[in-house]
Structure 1
Amino acid sequence: MGDIESAIKSASADDGFSLTEVMVAALVLGIGAAAVGSVLIGALGLSRGNSQRVQAAALVTAEVEEARGQSVDLLPEGPSSRTVVQQGTTFTVQRDVAWTTGAAGTDACAQTSAATLTKTVAVTVTWPDMGSTSPVRGGTQLAATPSSPQLATLPGAVAVQVRDAAGAGVPGAAVVLTGAATSVSATTGPSGCAGFTGVEKGIYQAEASKTGAVSRGGEAAASTGSFTVLAGRVARPRADLDTAGALTIATSATAGGTQRAGVPFTLDAAFFTPTTRRLFPSCATLASGTTPCLTEGAAGSRTAQRLFPGSYRVSGCSTSVTGPSSTPVAPGGSSSATLALATARLTSTTAGGPLPAVVHARPAPTSACVGAPALQVTTGSATTLDLPLTDGPWQFSSSSAFTTSVAVTLVASTATPVTVAP
């Protein structure tokens, strides 16, 4: 009988779940369902957020491209906004436009522009219920055109390049920049450049100098000539300066006669301006400083000094360059050359009569030496006199005013008769 009761009790214990077990199972199921639902909701929200950011990025791109398509000067400045509805979302497109000036640095010698002027366009797109999502931003910079009125308000800069005969930079040269209302100084650096910043637009000129150095024309200061400074840009004028050299010229007259100081000649160099030939000794008006551009030596020797390094051809006063081949002059060096003179054989118009007590000679108007001072020759009332001169056309007269004169073309290494009226 006991065995039967035990069996009945065992069968009753295995029949179904208790209320507690059912409640626990329901709780577990609810938690799982909530978790799955939260994941699904998060995934849907993330997908929607990504879609909104993609649409916002497209709106930014469209706004930037629309700004680029407008004239820079006509693109409105300041903030503006508009709304765009896409796929049920209202987007706000904010645009901010402003002129921006950027300085290119304080070293004008290392910059291509003194300052830059651009119109900056900044675009920001937002939408409702963004939460922690960041706004989508973008932008562009549009360069100012030459007609942009703001460009005229920017300063310019000047970088004076000082170069020697070989094209290398000259350090330690003093440079003075001069304009209508300004004069400032600077010294060239290792590269041979002197920089000036904050220069107002206008017309300027710069001069460079250095002890012992000369310009291409033999002046103590090398000029850049006039140049224009533009707003926001770097002007780069050049001045040529190098250590001066010298050229000693020996003259000879095969027909004899006493050589005299002041006989003119020319030097021809490719870098002389405005013409390649320059008259000596009138160069004295071009030189500055304590060193003369020409010194007269004994026996007709003369030395042209303050010469910019380069090649020079020594010639007389003929309209063509008839001298020997070019002679190189190195920086700080001294070279030598020779020049054959012509001879004017002076005689009186009175046969066998004495010459005028004083004879005046000057280069004729067609001479390459026109403008050189006239020579005054004391004859001692001799009946004939050999006067060594450079070749080319000359005028001779007994009057310092040349009221009457005789014109003769002299030839190098040749004696040419010249009759002078008393």
Structure 2
Amino acid sequence: MTLVEVMVALVLFAIMSTAVLNMVMNAQRLTRYDAARVVANNLATRELEIVRDTFFGPTRGPDRVLLNTAENPSPLPGGRVGDPLVVDGIAFTVTRTAEWAQVDTRAASTCDEGSNVELAYLRVRVRVTWPKMGDRPPVQMDTTMTPAKGTYSAFTGHLGLKVIDQLGEPLGGVPVVVRTNTNAVAASGRTSSDGCVLFPFLNAGTYTYELNRAGYVTPAGDPAGKTTVQVQSGQLWRGIAEYAQSATVDVTFTTREGFGLPPANQQIPVSLGNSALKPSGVKAYPGTGNARSLTSLWPYPSGYTLWAGNCLGNDPKDLGDPPVAVEPGQTATTTVRLAPLTVRAPVGTTITAKQAVDSSCPAGATVIVGQVPASGVLAASLPTGLWRLTRSGSSTTRDVTLAPDDPEATAPLPTPPTVTF
């Protein structure tokens, strides 16, 4: 019985020790968090005071405050702008957002206000985070600052741009540059967490804004998205720019077994279809090779349909494969099927195919199909559609309409078209 009592006592002691140890560790964690939060409060207060000193300083003024979003803009002694602020071995990140707003505004963002607007005060928000916060909230402080009456001319205007991603969500941290009509930089900044970037008090005139984030594109595949705007006195020009991390599609041509692909040096475009593509819903990518990468693609949630050729007549439609899903910053892999055909011609002659011209394809592609082997039979492949074939040493032509194999079809497959010279 004595041994049993000892074992029970040891088990109870272990349970109680574990509970006490957990309480001590939790207390230590809370103490560290509370200490870090005190430092974060001090850093947030410091940042607001720096902005306030700049805003009301007699030798600086409101126009010297860095607008929109800035990360770690005010380093500690010995530090550098943009680097975390290290206190007691903890790296704190201070994010400051400063935006002008109009009187009695109810809009959460200046980019959502009306076009007739007089910007009257500066909204400033400071947010401080640090590692190992867990799910606890960051330190956040807000204030507003109003300049003296008559500080700014009534003959200036403002430019507000809201940047959204492929899902229509605000995109923060995007660098934006505004240039004059002489290409000089008039202003620059980064979008805030609400996707807004504001350039206030610009002289009336014509400006161009451009976006700049590595790996991002507009729906047109443009990494800069340059757009010309007209700023008017007393007016807020408001615009929306779509910008997202680009996607890539790796394409490989394929055909029926036993039939060859065109020579790799032949240029066969690849067309991408999506109803949102402007202006026609189709965009063709030129290139050579039977395998290639299509880059700088807008990541449409609905994906893309793909086919070989640069004409609507090349689209196999009902016989096409389903759309290829694309994700921002990711690479999708797919195959594009060519249509098989058989050419009978004198040995050693070269077969050339030219796509028939129609309203959707005013300049049809020309492709060297290949050279007829010793058997006198060339088993080749071309994109879907109507083609006109010729052979070297002869002006004789043959027309043929091609369709790829139905992916849902079961054996036996239909006999490919045969062209005889």
TM-score where L is the length of structure 2? 0.53
Of 293, 297, 303, the match for 1:303? 293
Q: Which residue of 2 aligns with 1:408?
A: 400
Say whether the 8 Å CA contact 1:243–1:332 is kept in structure 2. yes
Of 184, 201, 208, the match for 1:198? 201
After TM superposition, give the deviation of residue 419 of structure 1 in Å: 4.5
After TM superposition, give the deviation of residue 175 of structure 1 in Å: 2.1
1:240 pairs with 2:242:
yes
Q: Which residue of 2 aligns with 1:387?
A: 380
Aligned pair in 2 of structure 1 residues 220, 359: CA closer, same or farther (>3 Å)? farther
Aligned pair in 2 of structure 1 residues 258, 207: CA closer, same or farther (>3 Å)? same
The count of corresponding residues between Structure 1 and Structure 2 is 262
Query: Which consecutive residues of structure 2, in runs of 5 or more, have no partner in the other structure?
Result: 1-99, 104-108, 120-152, 406-413
Say whether the 8 Å CA contact 1:355–1:381 is kept in structure 2. yes
Q: Which residue of 2 aligns with 1:276?
A: 281
- Secondary structure at the counterpart of residue 175 of structure 1: strand
After TM superposition, give the deviation of residue 245 of structure 1 in Å: 1.7
Q: Which residue of 2 aligns with 1:341?
A: 338
Deviations 1:116-161 (A, max 9, x none): 49xxxxxxxxxxxxxxxxxxxxxxxxxxxxxxxxxx9722211122
Q: Which residue of 2 aligns with 1:92?
A: none
Q: Distance in 2 between matches of 1:110 and 1:305?
A: 33
Of 329, 336, 354, the match for 2:347? 354
Say whether the 8 Å CA contact 2:356–2:364 is kept in structure 1. no
Q: Which residue of 1 aligns with 2:57?
A: none
Q: Distance in 1 between matches of 2:359 and 2:387?
A: 7
Q: Which residue of 2 aligns with 1:19?
A: none
Say whether the 8 Å CA contact 1:104–1:113 is kept in structure 2. no
Q: Which residue of 1 aligns with 2:161?
A: 160
Q: Distance in 1 between matches of 2:207 and 2:386?
A: 42
Q: Which residue of 2 aligns with 1:146?
A: none
Letter in 1 for 2:222: E
After TM superposition, give the deviation of residue 266 of structure 1 in Å: 1.4
Q: Distance in 1 between matches of 2:247 and 2:101?
A: 43
Of 379, 389, 408, the match for 1:396? 389
Q: Distance in 1 between matches of 2:162 and 2:198?
A: 9
Of 323, 327, 337, the match for 1:326? 323
Q: Distance in 2 between matches of 1:194 and 1:394?
A: 52
Q: Distance in 1 between matches of 2:382 and 2:326?
A: 25
- Secondary structure at the counterpart of residue 330 of structure 1: coil
Aligned pair in 2 of structure 1 residues 110, 252: CA closer, same or farther (>3 Å)? closer
Q: Distance in 2 between matches of 1:362 and 1:179?
A: 47
Query: Which consecutive residues of structure 1, in runs of 5 or more, have no partner in the other structure?
Result: 1-101, 118-151, 283-294
Say whether the 8 Å CA contact 2:316–2:404 is kept in structure 1. no
Q: Distance in 2 between matches of 1:213 and 1:103?
A: 29
Q: Distance in 1 between matches of 2:206 and 2:419?
A: 54
Deviations 1:362-393 (A, max 9, x none): 43322866657533344156522122121012
Q: Distance in 2 between matches of 1:341 and 1:195?
A: 50
Say whether the 8 Å CA contact 1:175–1:206 is kept in structure 2. yes
Aligned pair in 2 of structure 1 residues 241, 231: CA closer, same or farther (>3 Å)? same
For 1:141-160, what aligned pairs fall within 5 Å after superposition?
154-160=155-161
- Secondary structure at the counterpart of residue 210 of structure 2: strand
Kindly report the root-mean-square deviation, in angstroms, between the aligned alpha carbons of the 2 structures.
Answer: 3.7
TM-score where L is the length of structure 1? 0.53
- Secondary structure at the counterpart of residue 259 of structure 1: coil
Aligned pair in 2 of structure 1 residues 114, 367: CA closer, same or farther (>3 Å)? closer
After TM superposition, give the deviation of residue 210 of structure 1 in Å: 1.0
Deviations 1:161-216 (A, max 9, x none): 22110111222223233453454333222222222223344444432131111221
Q: Distance in 2 between matches of 1:154 and 1:338?
A: 58
| Structure having the higher Rg | 1
Q: Distance in 2 between matches of 1:403 and 1:153?
A: 75
Q: Distance in 2 between matches of 1:416 and 1:367?
A: 25
Aligned pair in 2 of structure 1 residues 370, 259: CA closer, same or farther (>3 Å)? farther
Q: Distance in 1 between matches of 2:102 and 2:336?
A: 56
Q: Distance in 2 between matches of 1:270 and 1:399?
A: 41
Letter in 1 for 2:338: L
Aligned pair in 2 of structure 1 residues 156, 399: CA closer, same or farther (>3 Å)? farther
Q: Distance in 2 between matches of 1:330 and 1:187?
A: 24
Moved more, 364-373 or 403-412: 364-373
Say whether the 8 Å CA contact 1:207–1:239 is kept in structure 2. no
Q: Which residue of 2 aligns with 1:171?
A: 172
Say whether the 8 Å CA contact 1:176–1:183 is kept in structure 2. no
Q: Distance in 1 between matches of 2:285 and 2:165?
A: 24
Say whether the 8 Å CA contact 1:172–1:189 is kept in structure 2. yes
Moved more, 366-375 or 225-234: 366-375
Q: Distance in 2 between matches of 1:214 and 1:103?
A: 29
Deviations 1:267-298 (A, max 9, x none): 1123211111111226xxxxxxxxxxxx85xx
Of 183, 187, 192, the match for 2:190? 187
Aligned pair in 2 of structure 1 residues 188, 257: CA closer, same or farther (>3 Å)? same
Say whether the 8 Å CA contact 2:352–2:366 is kept in structure 1. yes
Aligned pair in 2 of structure 1 residues 160, 116: CA closer, same or farther (>3 Å)? closer
